[in-house]
Every structure is written in C-alpha cells, then in structure tokens.
Amino acid sequence: MLQMLAFLQDAAAATAGKGYGLIGAGLGAGLAVLGAGVGIGRIGGSAAEGMARQPENSARIQTAGLIFSALIEGVALFVAVIALLMQGKITF
C-alpha cells in the first residue's frame, strides 16, 4: 500500500512538472508576441514622428522602419515556433 502511494505521489509530481512546462511554453510565446507588438508600434510611431519632422527623408525613414519591423517580426515568429516545439515535446 505504501509503495502504491509513493508511486502515485511520484506520478503527480511528474504531471505537475509537465504542466509547468506547458505554462512556460505558453507564456514564452505570449510574451514574445506582446513584445513584438510593442516594438513594432514604437517603430511605427517613431517613423511617423520622424517623417513629420523631416519630410525630405521620409523614404529613408520608411525603408529603415520596414526593415526593423521585419526583423522584430522574425524574432517573434522564431520564439513562437520554439514555444510550440517545447509544447509538442511534453507528453502525459
């Protein structure tokens, strides 16, 4: 009987650890997307402000803003894929 209780406690601890892994994967993906959204928003706002201050450089500012936005988007996508891969490795 004691062996059965010890086995059940070990199984519950292992299940809790896997649950924490799933929570971590979800939080990682969510924070990556949230950070990317904030970063792209700041880039857009700064680019609009820069174009308003110096209209003659608007093409260069717009190009730089698009490149930076694409880089941030790529990092966020990479982190989201890694989080999904982490989630797929956890089995119950």
Three-class DSSP category at 77: helix
Structural domain tally of the chain? Answer: 1
Mean pLDDT over 58-81 rounds to 94
% pLDDT > 70, the chain: 82
In a domain, 79, yes or no: yes
In a domain, 12, yes or no: no
Q: Is the pTM of this model over 0.85?
A: no
Provide the CATH number for the domain around residue 84: 1.20.20.10
Residue 16: per-residue pLDDT: 65
Question: Average pLDDT of the chain?
Answer: 86
The residue range of the domain holding 38 is 33-92
What type of residue is 71? L
Q: Contact 79/28 with Cβ under 8 angstroms?
A: yes
Any idea which residue has 């904030």 for tokens?
Answer: 38
pLDDT at 8 over 60: no
In a domain, 73, yes or no: yes
How do residues 23-39 score in pLDDT, each as one tens digit?
888 898 899 999 999 99
Backbone angles phi and psi of 20, in degrees to 5: -65, -35
